[in-house]
Structure 1
Amino acid sequence: MRITIPQPQLLKTLQVVEHAVNDRSTLPILSNVLLESSGNELTLTATDLDVGIQCRFPLAQAMEKGAVALPARKLTTIIRELPDDTVTLEAKKNHTATVNCGTSSFRIPGLPAEDFPVLPSSDSTETVSVSQGVLKSLISLTAHAMSIEETRFILNGALLATQKDMVVMVATDGRRLAVAQAPATKVGKQPLNAVLPAKTIRELGRLLAEADTEDVIISPLKDNQLTFRFGLVTVVTRLIEGQFPQYEKVIPSSSKIVVTCDRQRLLEAVRRTNLMTTATSQAVVFELEPNRLVVSKESPELGSAREELDVRYNGDRLTIAFNPEFWLDVLKVLQSTEVSIELTGPDRTAVIREHGFTFLVLPMKGA
């Protein structure tokens, strides 16, 4: 195999797939990236057997066909350090590759392409289509609520489902819940109901183009897998097995007791107050009275913080404690100028409802 390709384009393609590499695997082949030349197209593939990423790149002219598996991190590091010039990569029969660019030359030992796992392909007609920008937005609005506790494996990811003509994404860690939905371009006859691992969610969030209206084609695969195809990229993922919680049952009815304030000002107030929290004393206190919100924290070790905000609120005086990180996570991803929060009691769930988005967070028992 022999290919020539501009350094920036090869580096960009490597950076698309390298996040799927597993350097700690007991299988040496999984720390490699597979490079395949079909003549007029270069395909790069990486996988850890749970998530696989493949990226195709059209070549300016027909090249020698072939394939080789090369150490992903080392190859990416080398290409990154090369000058902005044409790279010539040639793989020998002994699976060793040479990389030449300008006056630089490298020799990299590789592994047989035949040892690399083959990513499954889908021929299913039960596909779901949604624009890249929409799916990226759904991920942004919900990913922060995924659990990181290994004991609750089903929550270590996000639910992706279809409801009528809508695509819905849901994540929860048991203390907060984020639900986002948006219209799909196309849904299949059979409803989609899949729990995606956190790594898959992160990789899709990284790879999807925010302003791109081109559709992502989502197709089911055998053996509890799902594939996402968009542009020149394909992502294949195993799904988390198990029953995702029935989240609809915990969403309360709308409340008339609402506090409305500037989103950015609340974000900054919570961020500053959070400076006085510790690992053993995380809660910050929200004190509400008509047209005023005080966010505060008292810490015997660090001292205290107090932030006062003008708000629209006509309910009774209310004091409620929250984990500030949960508020920071959601306030950062919202785009609205103002945020309205339903607060009905010191031990009741706080709720944000916006168009296509619902967020619930449980209070903490003490400050």
Structure 2
Amino acid sequence: MRIIIERSNLLKSLSHVHRVVERRNTIPILSNVLVRTEDDGMRLKATDLDIEITETVPAIGEETGATTVPAHLLYDIVRKLSEGSEVKLATNGEGTQMTISSGRSNFRLQCLPESDFPDITAGGLSHSFSLKASDLLRLIERTQFAISTEETRYYLNGIYLHTVDADDDLSLRAVATDGHRLARAEVKAPSGSEGMPGIIVPRKTVGEVQKLLGECGEDDMVAIELSDSKIRFTIGAVVMTSKLIDGTFPDYQRVIPQNNDKALTLDRQTFSAAVDRVSTISSERGRAVKLSLSPDQLMLTVNSPDSGTATEELAVEYGSDDIEIGFNARYLLDITSQLSGESAVFMLADPGSPTLIRDGGDETTLYVLMPMRV
């Protein structure tokens, strides 16, 4: 194979595909990226056996062929080449080495044969639809922080994506929870998503899709194909296929409180800044912040046996009975950072029950937060 390509195009594509390659691999071929030259350009492919990502890049093909080279090494080499340069990739007759040349720089990398490279994309995908990139990004950003990192409850290690029919209006809903907090967001269900299975998209896949969506324009569309075991995202020239988590997501509706009748309305940014300030003295062991509520007044308190005490008063809208309730400060900051409106509405019941948090600027999202003892 022999091909000439713009360094900027190659670098951008490698930045997408090399991220799925794990730094440490017991299977050597999984450390490599598959490079295939075609008449219309060059195709790159990488996989960790759970996620496969491919991208086609414009290039001048002089001789077609395919081989695999170390992904992170190739990325680092291209990253350090001069901006605006052209890169020439060529393999020797046996296909055991690839030469990378640009200007006066020359590198020779060891190759592994294309025939050893695994393929996870086989199999049909039963449902397909298109979604605005901005809508998919919003679903991810509003819920991703609540994904569990506890490997024993593997079915919580992703975002649960499913359709919900409410009042003859079908919505595509994303839910994530780690048992301490729950995040739920939804958008109008796109045509083609009717009857799709409820699926759990793994945390690593969610993170990679989020990075790709960050490069999209406001009106760009994402093609989504899925079955009950795999999902494929086509974002511009990038195609990402991922296995899904094989498990049953819990009935999250049961933990969303229905009868919390104490309404607290506050300014989101003022509250977030105050929580951040008082939690400065809290220890990592106990990041609890106590909320003491009385009519139209909120007192935030943090007690740290090692450091001391911090308090701050805020004017709020609250007209119910006095209540004291504690929350993990980091969880409060995580949730308030996702809210888009100026105000946040907390619906409380008692110090031992979950609290419902709504976004004053977005009716399609809600959060549930478990209290802490303070």
Q: TM-score, normalised by structure 2?
A: 0.92
- What is residue 113 of structure 2 aligned with on the other side? 112
- What is residue 284 of structure 2 aligned with on the other side? 279
Query: How many angstroms apart in 2 are the aligned matches of 1:291 and 1:188?
Result: 45
Q: 1:189 deviation in Å?
A: 4.4
Please show how residues 203-352 of structure 1 align to structure 2 within 5 Å: 203-209=208-214, 211-221=217-227, 224-253=229-258, 255-352=260-357
Q: 1:195 deviation in Å?
A: 0.7
Q: 1:153 deviation in Å?
A: 0.9
Whether 1:141 aligns to 2:142 is yes
Whether 1:198 aligns to 2:197 is no
Gaps of 5+ in 1: none
Residues 163 and 194 of structure 2 are in contact (CA less than 8 Å); yes or no, is this contact kept in structure 1?
no
- Sort the Cα spacing of 1:208 and 1:63 in 2 relative to 1 into closer, same or farther, 3 A: farther
Query: How many angstroms apart in 2 are the aligned matches of 1:87 and 1:65?
Result: 16
Query: How many angstroms apart in 1 are the aligned matches of 2:123 and 2:138?
Result: 25
Q: 1:255 deviation in Å?
A: 4.0
Number of equivalenced pairs: 364
Mean alpha-carbon deviation: is it higher for 90-99 or for 47-56? 90-99
- What is residue 15 of structure 1 aligned with on the other side? 15
Whether 1:361 aligns to 2:369 is yes
Query: How many angstroms apart in 1 are the aligned matches of 2:326 and 2:357?
Result: 16
Query: How many angstroms apart in 2 are the aligned matches of 1:307 and 1:53?
Result: 49
- Sort the Cα spacing of 1:189 and 1:141 in 2 relative to 1 into closer, same or farther, 3 A: closer
- Sort the Cα spacing of 1:166 and 1:219 in 2 relative to 1 into closer, same or farther, 3 A: same
- What is residue 68 of structure 2 aligned with on the other side? 69
Whether 1:28 aligns to 2:23 is no
- What is residue 91 of structure 1 aligned with on the other side? 91
Identity of aligned residues (%): 35
**Secondary structure at 1:105 match in 2:** strand
Q: 1:78 deviation in Å?
A: 0.8
Query: What residue identity is the alignment partner of 2:52?
Result: G
Q: 1:200 deviation in Å?
A: 0.8
Q: 1:257 deviation in Å?
A: 2.1
Task: Calculate the aligned-residue CA RMSD, in Å.
Answer: 1.8
Q: 1:58 deviation in Å?
A: 2.5
Whether 1:187 aligns to 2:192 is yes
Deviation string, structure 1 residues 71-119 (Cα, Å, up to 9, x no partner): 1111111111110111111122333111111221111112111111124
Residues 7 and 86 of structure 2 are in contact (CA less than 8 Å); yes or no, is this contact kept in structure 1?
yes
Query: How many angstroms apart in 1 are the aligned matches of 2:62 and 2:95?
Result: 20
Residues 162 and 187 of structure 1 are in contact (CA less than 8 Å); yes or no, is this contact kept in structure 2?
no
Q: 1:199 deviation in Å?
A: 0.6
Q: 1:284 deviation in Å?
A: 1.1
Query: What residue identity is the alignment partner of 2:67?
Result: V
Gaps of 5+ in 2: none
**Secondary structure at 2:13 match in 1:** helix
Query: What residue identity is the alignment partner of 1:215?
Result: M
Q: TM-score, normalised by structure 1?
A: 0.94
Query: How many angstroms apart in 2 are the aligned matches of 1:46 and 1:175?
Result: 35
**Secondary structure at 2:337 match in 1:** helix
Query: What residue identity is the alignment partner of 1:118?
Result: D
**Secondary structure at 1:106 match in 2:** strand
Q: 1:123 deviation in Å?
A: 5.0
